[in-house]
């Protein structure tokens, strides 16, 4: 029974990340490969990246993935498995250990800095966790700000 639940949780996570990647790539295709982040605060507009920093084609993205160290890929996969376990626990009505969720957020930050996880993917994951774990809203919001900077 646990294998089925684990498989279901992994499937849900895979669909979630697949949808995020699809949305990201479809937005890039509409903009000719240029990502234009939406800025709510006009003061932040001056801090936006130049277009040359933001432009990444699908081929370059594949090259980056293939150039990742095997250790980083293993860490990223382990992170996704842990997030899947949390999703499975939540679907069974159990609350995960909040310290573990905090550790996962920190691991994800390190993987973003190592460019093993995209910023958008990390933010989407943390926003999902904010929705399902409202008791961690403030901490996860801080982690999102930390990743954005």
Per-residue tokens: 35? 């990502």
Half-sphere exposure (CA, 13 Å, Cβ side) for 136? 22
- What is residue 34's three-state secondary structure? coil
In the prediction, which pLDDT does 1 show? Answer: 64
Q: Is the pLDDT of residue 143 over 90?
A: yes
Q: What is the pLDDT of residues 73-106, one digit of tens each?
A: 999 999 999 999 998 998 999 988 999 999 999 9
* pTM reported for the whole predicted model: 0.55
- What is residue 133's three-state secondary structure? coil
> What are the residue ranges spanned by the domains of the chain?
2-148
């Amino acid at each position: 029974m646990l294998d089925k639940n684990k498989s279901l949780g992994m499937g849900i996570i895979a669909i979630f990340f697949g949808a995020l990647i699809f949305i990201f790539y479809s937005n890039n295709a509409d903009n000719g490969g240029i990502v234009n982040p939406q800025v709510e605060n006009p003061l932040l507009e001056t801090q936006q990246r130049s277009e040359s920093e933001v432009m990444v084609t699908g081929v370059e993205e594949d090259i980056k993935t293939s150039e990742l160290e095997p250790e980083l890929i293993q860490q990223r996969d382990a992170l996704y498995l842990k997030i899947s376990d949390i999703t499975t626990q939540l679907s069974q009505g159990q609350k995960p250990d909040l310290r573990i969720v905090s550790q996962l957020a920190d691991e994800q930050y390190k993987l973003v800095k190592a460019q093993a996880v995209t910023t958008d993917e990390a933010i989407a994951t943390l926003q999902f966790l904010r929705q399902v774990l409202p008791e961690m809203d403030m901490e996860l919001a801080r982690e999102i700000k930390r990743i954005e900077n």
